Amino acid sequence: NAGVTQTPKFQVLKTGQSMTLQCAQDMNHEYMSWYRQDPGMGLRLIHYSVGAGITDQGEVPNGYNVSRSTTEDFPLRLLSAAPSQTSVYFCASSPRQGSNIQYFGAGTRLSVL
Amino acid sequence: AQTVTQSQPEMSVQEAETVTLSCTYDTSESDYYLFWYKQPPSRQMILVIRQEAYKQQNATENRFSVNFQKAAKSFSLKISDSQLGDAAMYFCAYRDFLINAGGTSYGKLTFGQGTILTVHP
């Protein structure tokens, strides 16, 4: 009963490095999203996807890239990490039909030095 | 744009007592969803309760209930018989109820800032 799986759980980067946060879901959900959580600001939407091959920007997309080649996977790429991207990142998935309740992964804590 | 405001950064309650967490939101839509999520120290986001705006009846899930005031755009969470395991950060969230030609469409979740709940034994 895996649900939404995020890897890694923790990561430390140096400014300018690139990396990919992985997200996979086994519930056959059409919708997937990436959020970042910062103190005092709740969760903010970075990018989302409504199906394989379709992605769109959320509230805070700058510095991040996504693609969706399969229904299961939705990786988030940091192209050139900056200290402002230090945050906790959550991936979520939801079914297309019904109330679209979003199911979250366990999060990735990222520090950029 | 929709906004969600949680005006209580921190709340505390004695075990077995009742506590209410406040949430207000701003929208021009008439149909939408509202959610409360719980985030314990493990960081996992757990859905606590959901309310559809077109339903007049307040949602209830065991010890958790909401007071939904649509005209006032208020959506508070009441936790009865508080337990130590209820200690967590609680987020209120809003989602538009969108319909497209395919039957439904993606609705962005907008979160409040969160309320840290402490439960004292």
- Residue A53 is given by DSSP the state T
On the question of pLDDT at B6 being above 90, the answer is yes
* Of A23-37, A85-99, B11-25, B53-67, the least confident: A85-99
- Tens digits of residue pLDDT in B27-41: 988 888 999 999 999
Q: How far is A16 from chain B (nearest CA, A)?
A: 27
Of B50, B104, B108, the CB nearest to A101: B50
On the question of pLDDT at A57 being above 70, the answer is yes
Residues of A in contact with B36 (CB under 8 A): none
Q: Tell me how many residue pairs between chain A and chain B have CB atoms under 8 A apart.
A: 58
CB atoms B107 and A100 under 8 Å: yes
In angstroms, the Cα distances linking A35 to A87, B2, B69 are 10, 17, 28
Q: Which of A25, A14, A5 is nearest to A110 (CA)?
A: A14
Q: How far is B100 from chain A (nearest CA, A)?
A: 11
A99–chain B Cβ distance below 8 A for any pair: yes
CB atoms A31 and B106 under 8 Å: yes
- Residue B11 has φ and ψ, to the nearest 5°, of -140, 155
| For B33, nearest residue in chain A (alpha carbons) | A99
- Going by pLDDT thresholds of 50, 70 and 90, the confidence category of residue B120 is very high
- Tens digits of residue pLDDT in B32-89: 899 999 999 999 999 999 999 888 899 999 999 999 999 999 999 999 999 999 999 9
CA distance A90 to A109: 9
Interface with chain A: mutation pick from B95, B104, B115, B116, highest number of A CBs within 10 Å:
B104
